[in-house]
C-alpha cells in the first residue's frame, strides 16, 4: 500500500498492524550524468521492494531533501541542516505512532546519518519503534561513481546521461575525507564525482539492488517478525 494514495478508512482498517516505510533521500548533485534526486530514487525503489516482500509495510511519500552541505557549491543542490532534518523525522514518527506498529527510515544518502542517529535516539526515548537503515553497498565507491550509476541504470536507465559519465577523483575516500569535510566536494572534484562511473551496467545495478533489498528485509525481520497481514 502507498500511503499517499490511501484513504483514512483504509489506514484505520489496519491500525497498529502495519509498519510505515519512509524513503529518505536528498536533492544534490550527482555528477554531470546522474539526476539530482538519485538518492531519493534509490530509497524509493528499496522501499517498494520491501513492501513487495512484506504485506504489512505501507510506503510513505519520500522525504526528498537531506543534509547535503558538502554539495552546496553545485547549482541545483537544495538542502536542510542536520538539526532541521532530525526534528522533521521526530515529528513524522510522533504522528505515525497512533496508526502504525513502527517506522522504517530507508535512507539513500549517507550524509543524513547524523540526523537519523539523533532522531532515532529521541524517538526510542519516547517509546517509538524505529529502524534506521542505509543503502550502502559493501565496497561501493563514494559518490556518483560506478555503484550509483549501476543502481540508476537498473532503476531507470532513461535518466542516466551515459555520454556524460566521466571519472572524478578516484582516491580512496579515507584520503579525501579531511578535505571533503573542510572544503566540500567541489574543490576536491570539479565535476562532483568521487569514483569512476565508466563500466557501470544495469546488470551490476540489479545485483546491487537485490543484495540491498535482502539486507533491508533481514534488518526489518530481525526487528519485527511479520506482523499479521492486513485484511
pLDDT tens, per residue, the chain with 231 residues: 999 999 999 999 998 899 999 999 999 999 999 999 999 999 999 999 999 999 999 999 999 999 999 999 999 999 999 999 999 999 999 999 999 999 999 999 999 999 999 999 999 999 999 999 999 998 888 899 999 999 999 999 999 999 999 999 999 888 999 999 999 999 999 999 999 999 999 999 999 999 999 999 999 999 998 755 544
Cell of 64: 526528498
| CATH number at 3-223 | 3.40.50.10310
Specify which residues 117 forms β-bridges with: none
Give residue 140's pLDDT.
Answer: 86
Specify which residues 20 forms β-bridges with: 58, 103
**Sequence spans of domains, the chain:** 3-223
Amino acid at each position: 500500500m502507498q500511503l499517499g494514495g490511501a484513504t483514512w478508512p483504509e489506514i484505520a482498517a489496519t491500525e497498529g498492524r502495519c509498519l510505515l516505510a519512509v524513503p529518505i533521500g536528498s536533492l544534490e548533485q550527482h555528477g554531470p550524468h546522474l539526476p539530482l534526486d538519485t538518492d531519493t530514487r534509490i530509497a524509493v525503489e528499496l522501499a517498494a521492494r520491501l513492501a513487495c516482500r512484506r504485506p504489512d509495510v505501507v510506503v510513505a511519500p519520500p522525504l526528498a531533501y537531506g543534509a547535503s552541505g558538502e554539495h552546496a557549491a553545485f547549482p541545483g543542490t537544495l538542502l536542510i541542516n542536520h538539526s532541521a532534518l532530525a526534528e522533521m523525522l521526530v515529528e513524522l514518527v510522533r504522528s505515525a505512532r497512533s496508526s502504525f506498529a513502527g517506522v522504517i527510515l530507508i535512507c539513500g544518502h549517507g550524509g543524513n546519518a547524523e540526523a537519523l542517529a539523533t532522531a532515532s535516539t529521541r524517538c526510542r526515548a519516547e517509546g517509538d519503534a524505529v529502524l534506521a537503515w542505509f543503502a550502502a553497498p559493501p565496497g561501493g565507491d563514494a559518490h556518483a561513481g560506478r555503484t550509483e550509476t549501476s543502481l540508476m541504470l537498473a532503476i531507470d536507465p532513461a535518466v542516466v546521461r551515459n555520454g556524460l559519465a566521466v571519472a572524478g577523483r578516484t582516491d580512496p575516500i579515507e584520503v579525501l575525507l579531511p578535505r571533503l569535510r573542510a572544503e566540500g566536494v567541489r574543490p576536491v572534484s570539479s565535476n562532483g564525482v568521487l569514483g569512476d562511473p565508466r563500466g557501470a551496467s544495469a546488470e551490476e545495478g540489479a545485483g546491487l539492488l537485490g543484495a540491498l533489498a535482502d539486507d533491508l528485509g533481514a534488518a526489518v525481520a530481525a526487528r519485527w517478525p511479520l506482523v499479521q497481514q492486513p485484511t
